[in-house]
Amino acid sequence: LRAAEFLNFTCANDVVKGIGRTVYTQALNTRGGIESDYTVTQMNDDEFMVVTGTAFGTHDRQWLEKLARENAFNEILIKDITSDFACFGLWGPNARQIIQSVTTYDMSHKNFPFMHSREIEIAGVILRATRITYVGELGWELYIESDQASKVWTTLINAGKNHGMKTCGYRAIESLRLEKGYRAWGVEISTETNPWDAGLGFAVAMKKDSFIGKVALMKSKEDVTRKLGAILFDDIRQVPLGNEPVRVGGQIVGRIKSGGQGYTLGKAIGYAYLPIAHSEAGTILDVEFFGQWRQGVIATEPLFDPTNAKIRA
């Protein structure tokens, strides 16, 4: 089962959990830096579906192909199927009622737990539903063959009319993922950051015999000097755009990596890597906005639904 062996070697997490299981993971370089950030779903004994951000598909595919060549996994087939499928994200407190109204498959939490993936039927179309979220709410990602997608879309839109469902785009998703503290590659995480600094240690399976970057992580875990922190600003209009200096006690201690408006919280949000001594919740700091210093406070993550009750409902 070389595909399973290959992915467990290239991913920091243990991604071979059984057919129908979905795992969130990073793929690291030999320095322990984050090369990729994606989910892996086991489809069959030796077939897996890797889902990454839209902008990173080519990068991640080429990274995996490079690792296959360099590590004698020549028989591994890596195929980009992005154009073959549409992906709809159905999320929110009424997501289960909406999807259950258009399928005979039992979508209950008991039968369809979080981080599991199943084939279901909607409007006569067989599709893959994965119970996962990028917005911090109950829901599913639906993968439909492209030529059948419009039929499923129309069915879902009609089913959602009585549940207050709205269509939304990237900026709405961006606000929600910031509130939940979900990391984005190329923004909060990159090849220059490791999982310990980024608060992603939960997605690292150090008990595995080996994986790319493990040796580096063993060393860096003993010497963590900074931490990605969430900064809240009371004025929701006071939005950091990125790279603004962060100051504590008159000393520059970091720069903003990302920011946005948290509409659920009613506050503006920023993320920055800060020295451990200045990264604790409750720490007061200043951020420079267009020449003026504004006060913010480090908050405990996740900012929204800290017990994850919504996504596991």
Q: What is the model's pTM? A: 0.96
Residue 191 has what pLDDT? 98
pLDDT at residue 298 above 90?
yes
User: What's the pLDDT tens digit per position in 250-272?
Assistant: 999 999 999 999 999 999 999 99
Q: How confident is the model at residue 209 (pLDDT cuts 50, 70, 90)?
A: very high
As a whole number, mean pLDDT of residues 127-137 equals: 98
pLDDT at residue 1 above 80?
no
Within-domain flag for 253: yes
SS (H, E, C) the chain: CHHHHHHHHHCCCCCCCCCCEEEEEEEECCCCCEEEEEEEEEEECCEEEEECCHHHHHHHHHHHHHHHHHCCCCCCCCCCCHHHEEEEEEECCCHHHHHHCCCCCCCCCCCCCCCEEEEEEECCEEEEEECCCCCCCCEEEEEEEHHHHHHHHHHHHHHHHHHCCCCCCHHHHHHHHHHHCCCCECCCECCCCCHHHHCCHHHCCCCCCCCCCHHHHHHHHHHCCEEEEEEEECCCCCCCCCCCEEEECCEEEEEEEEEEEECCCCEEEEEEEEEHHHCCCCCEEEEEECCEEEEEEEECCCCCCCCCCCCCC
pLDDT at residue 211 above 90?
yes
Domain count for the chain, please give it: 2
Within-domain flag for 106: yes
Within-domain flag for 113: yes
User: What's the pLDDT tens digit per position in 72-112?
Assistant: 999 999 999 999 999 999 999 999 999 999 999 999 999 99
Residue 128 has what pLDDT? 99
Within-domain flag for 309: no
Residue 220 has what pLDDT? 97
Q: How confident is the model at residue 304 (pLDDT cuts 50, 70, 90)?
A: very high
Q: In terms of domains, do 85 and 185 share one? A: yes
pLDDT at residue 43 above 90?
yes
Q: In terms of domains, do 78 and 218 share one? A: yes
Q: In terms of domains, do 33 and 100 share one? A: yes
The CATH number of the domain holding residue 101 is 3.30.1360.120
Domain final position from 206, 223, 240: 223
Residue 137 has what pLDDT? 98
Q: In terms of domains, do 213 and 234 share one? A: no
Residue 289 has what pLDDT? 95
Residue 300 has what pLDDT? 98
Domain with 267, as residue range(s), is: 225-303
User: What's the pLDDT tens digit per position in 148-199?
Assistant: 999 999 999 999 999 999 999 999 999 999 999 999 999 999 999 999 999 9
Residue 45 has what pLDDT? 95
Q: In terms of domains, do 148 and 293 share one? A: no
